[in-house]
């Protein structure tokens, strides 16, 4: 490899940035041009069909077959005007990616002539093979039938020459086999649970919305270098590699000037995203070299989550055009920051009220406090479930690192809101909650500052942080589908809101006023969350781990055991009460998660073993041979005196032999451990054995990385971190 590697690097760095073919119009002129949005509905559907479709989208009304046929025909006409030749049901199976099967519009008419047609049946439903996707035993191999069903609330869009219809994916017997179905159920549960509480404060509220703003972190790497690293290609991360002399210690990459090639990539991604109605707002350099972030304006959760999956697909295809590969692994490089996907979550009403932000008066503030405290209570009760929702083989490398929250779900409030909650515990239950600065005279003890957003510092060690008008679920991994975490969060909050409303109604039946009943119901909840889940300190410390365990929070760090939380009896009951998951679906998801964990560790173990034996050991022995030849030449030249002159060479020769032996022994022991694990049938037990195998990988890696520092650079067979991490 050696010299060839440097040529690859030079070619890569000297490549001219691809000229971005941006539309001549401003983004607003073509935003949503490839989406069958409301303006397209008005243009391509008759008034009655359009009204029926909008009623279906906004109010969940039934769409009959005749109307579906008219909708499908309007979509076909629009699509063909834009050069579309195929149609697909676009869905999100339990693979952390998307799936699609393309069909042409071609059909035979009654006379046997070929025509182009798209009807309501094809729009509403398709039948992919359910047994070929992860299903946790719900479908056997010979039971292949499954269905994709159109989600009218998520816009149909055009990508390349294909009309894409966002759909749910369920088994023949009705179980969810995807991320979208539970997410939509959870949105329904939390918005329905929130509505009657909102109406306690404002009778005009008719609907509650669920909002998501995601922040997508990722790495870029030169495609040629990526193709020279089998570990990157097959696992998404480097399984070996010594840290670069310079990485992120100077903190010069974060928010720094964006490299020209990367800026060109960003622009292309934004153009394609704008066409699909995705409101990307921000892009910038992240903390680690070659790490970047992209984020949109907030949107409704179901649509925003679809858009995140679309942006990931767009980034991957666009990166190739610019000579890059996108790395979404949570920890592709050792010793520098990994990548997460922060999920900014909130609720709002059709009257324009954001429920996670202070109100304009004491009534609005009490509403804010009500939802704020109940979200904390949901996180406190179900902290293990929220952790299970983000637990994966890849995210385990990131959680607990200096750039990510620990594997303990706690909530950061900041000084202001912590003080507010303490004051609420002390005040009389009939005291109004005022916003300081709004009134010339304070009527109560509890005041929320008028300048509220960003009134406190952020805590990067908190998995679940309040950031002024929303909660930020920071523990979600870069490669994850947001829906996994948000389905659990929405369900937990929905369940807590229902319990809270019932408690308030009981207090009111005892003769208490509504506001007094609310405050008195909140007080014991506040006391409990302050004592358990609320923590504003450093989440990285050993002291916090001990304190969290004392408080009763889940402190498990082993991924297979973390996943078990999904099928705890209390958790199953919560999900079934809210209608988000059935027990069968939860059991199936656990089987899938354990199986995926096992397979990912298994692949890493295989790749590491083969790279060590086929790449590194031969290179080390080649260099050792050069040293031995050098020693032989010195002996021939200087006789018995050569030993006084070849001390360094002999030391290196012996060290290489020792390291090679360590590597070979470690690989052999790992292979034997895999043989033991592979015959286990129980998926949980198998995953637990592979957890032990995962701990062996770093043991094997240490001598490999040490060899990298010894072996001649021209002999070393892999691109090094100094080459992978810097784009000019």
User: Could you give the C-alpha distances from 402 to 118, 291, 392, 458, 606, in angstroms and in order?
Assistant: 53, 16, 18, 15, 29
Write down the H helix ranges in 284-349. Answer: 301-321
Per DSSP, 250 falls in state: T
Residues 223 and 325: beta-carbon distance below 8 Å: yes
Q: What is the mean pLDDT of residues 621-630?
A: 95
Residues 356 and 209: beta-carbon distance below 8 Å: no
Distance CA 587, CA 384 (A): 16
Residue 209: φ, ψ to 5°: -110, 150
pLDDT of 640 > 50? The answer is yes
pLDDT digits (tens, 9 = 90+) for 217-264: 999 999 999 999 999 999 999 999 999 988 887 877 888 888 899 999
Q: Which residues contact 454 (CB under 8 A, 6 or more apart)?
A: 467, 468
Residue in 276, 220, 228 with CA at minimum distance from that of residue 253: 220
Q: What is the mean pLDDT of residues 159-171?
A: 94
Per DSSP, 565 falls in state: G
Q: Of 129 and 361, which is predicted with more confidence?
A: 361
pLDDT of 440 > 50? The answer is no
Distance CA 7, CA 512 (A): 79
What 3-state class would DSSP assign to 223? Answer: helix
Distance CA 200, CA 197 (A): 5
pLDDT digits (tens, 9 = 90+) for 264-274: 999 999 999 99
What 3-state class would DSSP assign to 254? Answer: coil
What 3-state class would DSSP assign to 471? Answer: strand
Residues 325 and 221: beta-carbon distance below 8 Å: yes
Note the pLDDT of residue 444: 42
**How buried is 243 (Cβ within 10 angstroms: 0-12 exposed, 13-18 middle, 19+ buried)?**
middle
Which residue in this structure is represented by tokens 């069903």?
Answer: 149
- Establish how many alpha carbons lie within 13 A of residue 242's alpha carbon, considering only the half-sphere containing its beta carbon: 12
User: Could you give the C-alpha distances from 6 to 1, 78, 105, 650, 683, in angstroms and in order?
Assistant: 9, 50, 50, 29, 45
Structure tokens at 35: 């989406």
Distance CA 549, CA 408 (A): 9
Residue in 224, 158, 186, 529 with CA at minimum distance from that of residue 377: 529
Residues 262 and 230: beta-carbon distance below 8 Å: no
**How buried is 19 (Cβ within 10 angstroms: 0-12 exposed, 13-18 middle, 19+ buried)?**
exposed
How long is the chain? 728
Note the pLDDT of residue 416: 84
Distance CA 153, CA 210 (A): 13
Per DSSP, 614 falls in state: I
Q: What is the DSSP string of 97-121?
A: S-B--EEESEEE-TTS-EEE---HH
pLDDT digits (tens, 9 = 90+) for 66-107: 999 999 999 999 999 999 999 999 999 999 899 998 989 888
Helix (H) or strand (E) holding 341: strand 341-349
Note the pLDDT of residue 394: 95
pLDDT digits (tens, 9 = 90+) for 533-568: 999 988 888 899 999 999 999 999 999 999 999 999
Which residue in this structure is represented by tokens 């039971």?
Answer: 143
Strands 291-296, 280-285: pairing kind: antiparallel
Distance CA 447, CA 460 (A): 26
Residues 430 and 445: beta-carbon distance below 8 Å: no
Q: What is the mean pLDDT of residues 686-713?
A: 97
Distance CA 582, CA 93 (A): 17
**How buried is 477 (Cβ within 10 angstroms: 0-12 exposed, 13-18 middle, 19+ buried)?**
buried
Given pLDDT bands bounded at 50, 70 and 90, which one contains residue 574? very high
**How buried is 14 (Cβ within 10 angstroms: 0-12 exposed, 13-18 middle, 19+ buried)?**
exposed
Q: What is the mean pLDDT of residues 709-716?
A: 96
What count of other Cβ atoms lies within 10 Å of the Cβ of residue 23? 12
Q: Which residues contact 22 (CB under 8 A, 6 or more apart)?
A: 267, 271
Given pLDDT bands bounded at 50, 70 and 90, which one contains residue 443? very low
Which residue in this structure is represented by tokens 């390291």?
Answer: 659
Q: Which residues pair with 221 in a beta bridge?
A: 325
Distance CA 661, CA 668 (A): 10
Note the pLDDT of residue 157: 97
- Establish how many alpha carbons lie within 13 A of residue 354's alpha carbon, considering only the half-sphere containing its beta carbon: 15
Q: Of 581 and 635, which is predicted with more confidence?
A: 581
Q: Which residues pair with 169 in a beta bridge?
A: 148
Distance CA 136, CA 593 (A): 9
Mean pLDDT value across the chain: 90
Across 409-512, where does the E strand assignment appear?
Answer: 411-412, 434-436, 447-449, 464-466, 471-473
Helix (H) or strand (E) holding 296: strand 291-296
Q: Which residues contact 657 (CB under 8 A, 6 or more apart)?
A: 624
Q: Which residues contact 449 (CB under 8 A, 6 or more apart)?
A: 416, 435, 436, 437, 455
Distance CA 83, CA 98 (A): 23
Residues 84 and 163: beta-carbon distance below 8 Å: yes
pLDDT digits (tens, 9 = 90+) for 28-62: 899 999 999 999 999 999 999 999 999 999 988 99
Q: What angle do CA 305, 310, 312 make, to 5 degrees?
A: 100
Residue in 498, 523, 490, 531 with CA at minimum distance from that of residue 382: 490
Per DSSP, 35 falls in state: B
Structure tokens at 108: 């035979």
Residue 72: φ, ψ to 5°: -60, -40
């Amino acid at each position: 490899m050696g010299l060839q590697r440097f040529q690859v690097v030079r070619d890569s760095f000297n490549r001219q940035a691809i000229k971005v073919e941006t539309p001549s119009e401003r983004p607003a002129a073509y935003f949503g041009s490839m989406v069958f949005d409301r303006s397209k509905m008005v243009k391509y559907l008759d008034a009655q069909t359009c009204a029926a479709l909008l009623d279906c989208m906004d109010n969940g009304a039934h769409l009959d077959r005749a109307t579906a046929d008219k909708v499908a025909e309007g979509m076909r006409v629009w699509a063909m005007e834009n050069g579309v030749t195929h149609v697909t049901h676009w869905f999100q199976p339990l693979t952390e990616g998307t799936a699609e099967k393309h069909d042409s519009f071609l059909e035979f008419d009654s006379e046997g002539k070929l025509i182009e047609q798209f009807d309501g049946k094809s729009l509403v439903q398709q039948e992919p093979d359910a047994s070929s996707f992860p299903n946790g035993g719900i479908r056997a191999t010979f039971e292949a039938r499954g269905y994709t069903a159109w989600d009218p609330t998520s816009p149909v869009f055009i990508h390349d020459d294909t009309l894409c219809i966002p759909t749910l994916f369920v088994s023949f017997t009705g179980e969810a086999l995807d991320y979208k179905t539970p997410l939509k159920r959870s949105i329904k549960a939390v918005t329905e649970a929130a509505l009657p509480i909102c109406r306690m404060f404002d009778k005009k509220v008719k609907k509650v919305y669920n909002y998501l703003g995601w922040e997508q972190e990722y790495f870029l790497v030169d495609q040629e270098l990526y193709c020279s690293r089998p570990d990157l290609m097959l696992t998404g991360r480097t399984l070996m590699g010594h840290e670069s002399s310079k990485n992120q210690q100077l903190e010069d990459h974060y928010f720094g000037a964006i490299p020209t090639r990367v800026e060109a990539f960003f622009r292309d991604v934004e153009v394609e995203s704008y066409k699909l109605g995705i409101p990307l707002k921000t892009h910038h350099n992240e903390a680690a070299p070659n790490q970047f972030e992209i984020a949109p304006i907030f949107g409704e959760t179901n649509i925003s989550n679809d858009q995140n999956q679309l942006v990931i697909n767009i980034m991957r295809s666009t990166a190739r055009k610019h000579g890059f590969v996108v790395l979404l692994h949570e920890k592709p490089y050792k010793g520098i920051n990994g990548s997460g996907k922060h999920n900014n979550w909130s609720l709002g009403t059709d009257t324009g009220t954001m429920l996670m932000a202070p109100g304009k008066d004491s009534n609005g503030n009490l509403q804010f406090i009500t939802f704020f405290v109940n979200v904390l209570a949901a996180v406190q009760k179900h902290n293990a479930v929220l952790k299970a929702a983000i637990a994966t083989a890849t995210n385990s490398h990131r959680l607990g690192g200096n750039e990510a929250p620990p594997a303990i779900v706690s909530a950061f409030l900041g000084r202001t809101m912590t003080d507010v909650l303490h004051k609420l515990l002390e005040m009389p239950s009939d005291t109004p909650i005022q916003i300081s600065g709004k009134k010339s005279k304070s009527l109560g003890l509890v005041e929320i500052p008028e300048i509220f957003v960003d009134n406190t510092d952020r805590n990067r060690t908190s998995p679940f942080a309040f950031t002024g008008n929303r909660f930020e679920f920071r523990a979600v991994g870069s490669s994850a589908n947001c829906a996994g975490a948000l389905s659990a969060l929405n369900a937990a909050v929905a369940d807590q809101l229902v319990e809270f409303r019932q408690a308030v109604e009981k207090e009111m039946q005892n003769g208490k006023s509504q506001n007094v009943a609310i405050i008195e119901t909140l007080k014991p909840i506040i006391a409990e969350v302050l004592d358990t889940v609320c923590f504003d300190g450093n989440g990285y410390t050993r002291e916090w781990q001990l304190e969290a365990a004392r408080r009763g929070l889940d402190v498990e760090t082993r991924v297979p055991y973390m996943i078990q939380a999904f099928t705890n009896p209390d958790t199953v009951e919560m999900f079934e009460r809210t209608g988000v998951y059935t027990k069968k679906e939860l059991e199936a998801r656990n089987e899938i998660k354990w199986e995926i964990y096992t397979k990912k560790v298994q692949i890493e173990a295989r790749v590491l073993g083969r790279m060590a034996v086929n790449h590194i050991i031969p290179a080390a022995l080649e260099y050792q041979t050069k040293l031995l030849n050098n020693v032989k030449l010195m002996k021939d030249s200087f006789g018995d005196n050569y030993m006084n002159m070849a001390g360094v060479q002999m030391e290196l020769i012996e060290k290489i032999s020792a390291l090679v032996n360590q590597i070979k022994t470690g690989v052999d022991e790992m292979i034997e451990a895999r043989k033991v694990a592979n015959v286990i049938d129980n998926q949980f037990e198998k995953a637990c054995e592979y957890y032990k195998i995962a701990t062996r990988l770093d043991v094997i890696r240490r001598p490999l990385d040490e060899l990298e520092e010894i072996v001649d650079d021209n002999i070393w067979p892999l691109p090094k971190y100094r080459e992978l991490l810097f784009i000019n």
